[in-house]
Amino acid sequence: MVSRRHFLWLASAASALPAMRVFAQRGGRGAPAGRVPPSIASLASMKDRATPIGNDERRARIERARALMTENKLDAIVLAGGTSLVYFTGIRWGGGERLFAVVLPAKGDPFCVCPAFEQDRAREQLALGPLATTDVRTWQEDESPFERVAQGVKDRGLSSGRVGIEETTKFVFADSIASAAPALTITSATPVTAGCRMIKDSHEIALMRLACQVTLKAYEAVYRALTPGMTQDQVSALIDAAYARLGFPGFASVQVGAYTALPHGSIQPQTIREGTIIMIDDGCTVEGYQSDITRTFVLGKATDKMKKVFDIVYRAQAATLKAARPGVALNLLDSAARTVITDAGYGPGFKYFSHRVGHGMGMDGHEWPYLVKNNMFGWTKALTLQPGMVFSDEPGIYIRGEFGVRLEDDMHITASGAELFTPQSRSIEDPFGAA
């Protein structure tokens, strides 16, 4: 899924492909070190530190999903592409107008619905995952895949009942399944999918911790290579090169000067100058798991106002971390950060701190749950922090026409409190400490 920030980055980067972007696209590691700055050339791959999710882990996830189906009075869920499909089955399947779906019943065997001409590809992926012997029901181009879903559910004794549809599934798919099986009640699978995915186990935590470490290494290497006169596209090329050497796919949006006051930036051409504020945001993917980190800094001397705003945002980020512990209502973390910012004169409400303090993270950069008041959209109202949840912690102050400061690290809820995967940035003029 392409985030808004990644979309802005893609739109901006499309206008310029400098030599270092070509270097990054070609893999980077085999090219002469002189083609990139020393701080990036010195990076080494960290890929050997990542262990893929295994089939036993996916089988345990399916069993957890079945328990949550029973708890939420669902008889089956439908997974039609996206990260939830990968999470439970290991199958990676792009979107399109043709339905490909895996149906997981609360009781009985799963089955797959697949375009007939894609059957070999589907079986190839199924053979690598926890559903190697799954029944595959194919449909020709002039047939209805939704009738295949309806029949498969009926064959498992579910002529009527409640079937949950994964939340990112196209409406036309959910609506067509409902039309093909009018005796079924079609509803949301989010209590099951989010109910599983929002609690990370130790393996998932390790992958996300590594993703954060990789991102911070890339950011530091790029920071040490920056010079006045660079454009945001040239900085993006450096980031590409850094991630290529570290061994993981990643990207970042780069905003300069007044454009840092726009939380998700701008595609307008921007050039780094001595003393201007710079914001780098986003992350990388490690075995399907995401990081999301923001660093805001200047090259050279910051103004007193920049230093003051940075300090307020730093204290707000620390307040969020301090407030985080199991059993706490999610909105209280947003309140902790917002109180610091408002009390410092940058309020009320969302006037300067214009977004929530954080979002859930995992296989998607933004996923359930969210750290803000009134965020649950009805599927649960009583959710509190639980060990294993992971969030961004990203307060910000945005002064239109001047500059913005956001500090973002990723936060893991532990049994007794919370921890950041990466150290807080302590200085706007020296964000990574002495070299």
* Structure confidence at residue 379 (pLDDT): 60
Query: Is 159 in a helix, a strand, or coil?
Result: coil
Calpha distance 145→283 (Å, rounded) = 37
Strands (DSSP E) found in 291-351 = 293-298
Over residues 32-75, the pLDDT tens digits come to 344 789 999 999 999 999 999 999 999 999 999 999 999 999 99
CA angle at residue 427 from 8 to 332, to 5 degrees?
70
Over residues 74-114, the pLDDT tens digits come to 999 999 989 999 999 999 998 789 999 999 999 999 999 99
Angle between helix axes 304-323 and 331-343 (nearest 10 degrees) is 150
* Structure confidence at residue 35 (pLDDT): 74
* Structure confidence at residue 356 (pLDDT): 96
Tell which residue, 40, 49, 122, has the closest CA to residue 89.
122
* Structure confidence at residue 53 (pLDDT): 98
Buried b (16+ CB within 10 A) or exposed e, 36-63: bbebbbebeebeeebeebeeeebeebbe
The neighbouring-strand residues paired with 128 are: none
* Structure confidence at residue 94 (pLDDT): 86
* Structure confidence at residue 380 (pLDDT): 64
Span between the terminal Cα atoms of the chain, in Å: 36
Calpha distance 383→369 (Å, rounded) = 9
AA letter at 408 = E
* Structure confidence at residue 29 (pLDDT): 35
Dihedral-angle region of residue 313 (phi above 0 means left; psi in -120 to 50 means alpha; beta otherwise): alpha
Query: Is 167 in a helix, a strand, or coil?
Result: coil
Q: Within the chain, which residues score under 70 in pLDDT?
A: 1-34, 376-381, 434-435
* Structure confidence at residue 429 (pLDDT): 96
Q: Is the dihedral of CA 167, 105, 145, 147 positive or negative?
A: negative
